[in-house]
Amino acid sequence: MTRLHREPAEGMEASGCRVLIVGCGNLLRGDDGVGPILIRHLWERGIPDGAQIVDGGTAGMDIGFRMRGARKVVIVDASRTGAQPGTIYRVPGPAVEQLPPLEGMNTHSFRWDHALAFAHWLLKDEYPEDVTVFLIEAERVDPGAELSPAVRRSMERVIEIIEEEFLAELGPPGRPTVEFTADGYLRMGPDLAARHFPGGSAVAVRRAGELWLYPLRGPQAGGLPLKQRTPAGDRSVLVREALDDRVPVGTRTAVWDGLHGALRIPLDAGA
């Protein structure tokens, strides 16, 4: 969360991506989690090739390294200025760069505004040509609270701005793909597995022409284990029984359904 003067307005590197979007904040403290929650919504809606999204959490140091190679960077965080909850601030990166203090600094107190100054020093001529910061005025930051309605509406508006001004030029969004194998497994890449199935197990259910895969917390909770199949970290889960042994072999485009908390995979190749 960032504190600034009240002036409202409307891995370790980006590896050559054209647009890097970073959501900062603490998911466990209500509106302070608006940045990481926005990142999850962008992922569910699809990200075009040439863009990279990062849940920056509260680890500011990582941001400076991830900016290497990006042409444009967008940072989203919550703010507390005393303004109306949901107020959106759009600030150019150079206006909020701040050198960290020389004493008493640790990784937990190193914020993204420090990271901008650090990246300017680290990257020099490779520093992104355009850095934009969106700050959304928080209403409540109580532990365990959900996003307030005002902040949620503003988050949706910021998503629209990001899609229109930063992502549209990159082309249509990409979607994660999975593969049904002849031996009855569903195979997915390591990024997809780590993001939505960190517990390493799932429940598979067939629903209206789709396979829905629900994550579980861990093997102790039962369900189907996601087994690592390749050194790169690809995972496979046995879904043959859920499909009554009628496995539609081939690649499918999947979508994460945030409302129901499930990965939805069409069984028809043309869907």
Q: Tokens for 169?
A: 């030029």
Does position 168 have pLDDT exceeding 90, yes or no? no
Contacts 24+ apart (CB under 8 A), 108-112: 108/58, 110/59, 110/60, 110/61, 111/2, 111/60, 112/2, 112/22, 112/24, 112/56, 112/60, 112/63, 112/75, 112/77
Q: Amino acid identity of 79?
A: S
Q: What is the per-residue pLDDT for 103?
A: 47
How do strand 177-180 and strand 51-57 relate by DSSP bridges?
unpaired
Q: What is the per-residue pLDDT for 232?
A: 75
User: Which stretch of 2-6, 47-51, 169-173 has the lowest confidence by average pLDDT?
Assistant: 2-6
Domains of the chain: 19-170 (3.40.50.1450), 177-266 (no CATH)
Q: What is the per-residue pLDDT for 16?
A: 53
Q: Identify which has the larger pLDDT, 100 or 147.
A: 147
Does position 108 have pLDDT exceeding 80, yes or no? no
Q: What is the per-residue pLDDT for 93?
A: 72
Look at the block and give the residue holding tokens 């891995």.
11
Does position 189 have pLDDT exceeding 80, yes or no? yes
Q: What is the per-residue pLDDT for 219?
A: 53
Q: Amino acid identity of 50?
A: G
Across the chain, mean pLDDT equals 81
Instruction: Determine the distance from the C-alpha atom of residue 139 to the mean position of all C-alpha atoms in its chain, rounded to a whole number.
Output: 22
Does position 43 have pLDDT exceeding 60, yes or no? yes
Residues in the chain, how many? 271
Q: Tokens for 160?
A: 């629209």
Q: What is the per-residue pLDDT for 174?
A: 67
DSSP structure class, residue 268: S
Of the segments 56-65, 98-107, 185-194, which one has the largest average pLDDT value? 185-194
> What tens digit of pLDDT does each residue of 56-79 get?
775 556 677 777 778 899 989 998
Q: What is the per-residue pLDDT for 104?
A: 44
DSSP structure class, residue 198: T
Does position 209 have pLDDT exceeding 80, yes or no? yes
How do strand 250-253 and strand 177-180 relate by DSSP bridges?
antiparallel
Contact 251, 177 (CB under 8 A): yes
Contact 233, 184 (CB under 8 A): no
